[in-house]
Structure 1
Amino acid sequence: MTRTQPVDPYAQHLGITVIGHGGGRAEATATVSPNHLNPHGTAHGAFIFTVAGAALAAAANDAEHSGVVSAVHIDYLRPGQLGDRLTAVARVAERLPKEDIFEIRISDDENNIVARVSGRANRRLRASSTAPRDRGIPHSNG
Structure 2
Amino acid sequence: MNKSAAGAQAQALAEAVAASMFARDPASQSLGMSIDAVGPGYARMSMPIRADMLNGHQTCHGGFIFALADSAFAFACNSYNLTTVGAGCTIDYVAPAREGEVLSAAAVEQSLAGKTGVYDVKVTAQDGRIVALFRGKSHRLSGAVIAT
- Name the TM-score, length of structure 1 as normaliser: 0.83
* Structure 1 residue ranges without an equivalent (≥5): 131-142
Shift of 1:27: 0.8
Q: Amino acid of the residue matched to residue 101 of structure 1? A: V
Identity of aligned residues (%): 29
Give 1:77 shift.
0.2
1:39 corresponds to 2:56: yes
Moved over 6 A (4+): none
Structure with higher helix content: 2
Distance 1:13 1:71 in 2: 24
- Seen in structure 2, the aligned counterparts of structure 1 residues 128 and 106 have a Cα distance that, compared at 3 Å, is closer
In the other structure, the counterpart of 2:141 is 124
Mapped to 2, the partners of 1:110 and 1:79 lie a distance apart of 13
Question: Aligned residues, how many?
Answer: 130
Separation in structure 2 between the aligned mates of residue 22 and residue 68 of structure 1, nearest angstrom: 18
Distance in 2 between residues matched to 1:22 and 1:10, nearest whole Å: 22
1:71 lines up with 2:109 in the alignment: no
Match for residue 111 of structure 1?
A: 128
User: Who wins on radius of gyration, i.e. which is larger?
Assistant: 1
Counterpart AA for 1:15: G
Gaps of 5+ in 2: 1-11
Gap change, CA 1:35 and 1:129, over 3 Å in 2:
closer
By how many angstroms is 1:127 displaced? 4.8
Q: Which amino acid aligns with 2:120?
A: E
The structure 2 residue matched to 1:54, chosen from 63, 71, 78, is: 71
Task: Identify if the C-alpha distance between structure 1 residues 42 and 98 changes in structure 2 by more than 3 Å, giving closer, same or farther.
Answer: same
Letter paired with 2:99: L
* CA drift at 1:63: 5.3
**Contact in 1 for aligned 2:83/2:145 (Cα 8 Å):** no
**3-state SS of the aligned residue for 1:65?**
coil
Kept after mapping to 2: 8 A contact 1:25/1:90: yes
